[in-house]
Amino acid sequence: MRPLLVCLAGLLPAADPGFVSLFDGTTLNGWTLVGQKGPGYVVREGMLVCPADGGGNLFSDKEYSNFILRFEYRLEAGGNNGLAVRAPKKLGSIAHEGTEIQILDHENAKWKKRKQPLKPVQYNGSVYDVIAPKAEALKPSGEWNTQEVTVNGRRIRVVLNGVEIQDADLDSVTDPAVLKKHPGLQRTRGHIGWLGHGSLIEFRNIRIRELP
């Protein structure tokens, strides 16, 4: 059994001035699941959980343009998920039709055994398949990570456990093939989402502050 403090952590109200909670710790109110796999996402001990046999695209009902998103997450070994920003609420590859920020234990041996090794643009913190992270600060599997994502205009900044791992200028992407493959990079508004890929991940303390 986890310590009581950990179990209640997801129920604590957001303490950051100007931020509002996106997850109430008890229900999935405010979220819509598209393309459910297995149990999808569940609420467990105050946490938003994608079970190992679950997944799908869990989208915020509200759309956002510019914002700062703060949350904590804990991955199983080799865990894989993704944060969608400015995404359409639909089936399909959100990494292409929206923008995905990778959440992945990419140093795990399971990824190194693939016939096609992961590319840097697929590493944790990448703007998936577009811009590689500039650093890494992921804690070992089973430990909580604290992440802040700022989406403001054409810039996406990711700070993981106090380390800036991504500072992407989407206007720096000029390769016609990449732009054709990722039309979602041009979106200025859309849903926030969690992109489950059949591995266990737990979220808590999800909160947001919209920017002008």
83-116 confidence digits (pLDDT tens):
999 999 988 899 999 999 999 999 888 888 888 8
Question: In the predicted model, what is the mean pLDDT of residues 44-63?
Answer: 97
Q: Is residue 66 situated within a structural domain?
A: yes
Residue 3 scores a pLDDT above 80: no
99 near 184, Cβ under 8 Å? yes
> Do the domain assignments include residue 109?
yes
pLDDT of 13 strictly over 60: no
**Where do the DSSP E strands lie in 42-144?**
42-44, 47-50, 55-64, 67-75, 80-87, 99-104
Residues 125-174 have pLDDT tens digits of 999 999 999 999 999 999 999 999 999 999 999 999 999 999 999 999 99
Domain residues for 52?
4-11+22-210
Cβ neighbours for 4, distance < 8 A, ≥ 6 positions apart: none
17 within domain boundaries = no
Q: What is the model's pTM?
A: 0.91
Give the CATH number for residue 67: 2.60.120.560
Residue 16 forms part of a structural domain? no
pLDDT at 15: 62
Of 7 and 126, the structure prediction assigns the larger pLDDT to: 126
| Residue 152 in domain | yes
Into how many domains does the chain fold? Answer: 1
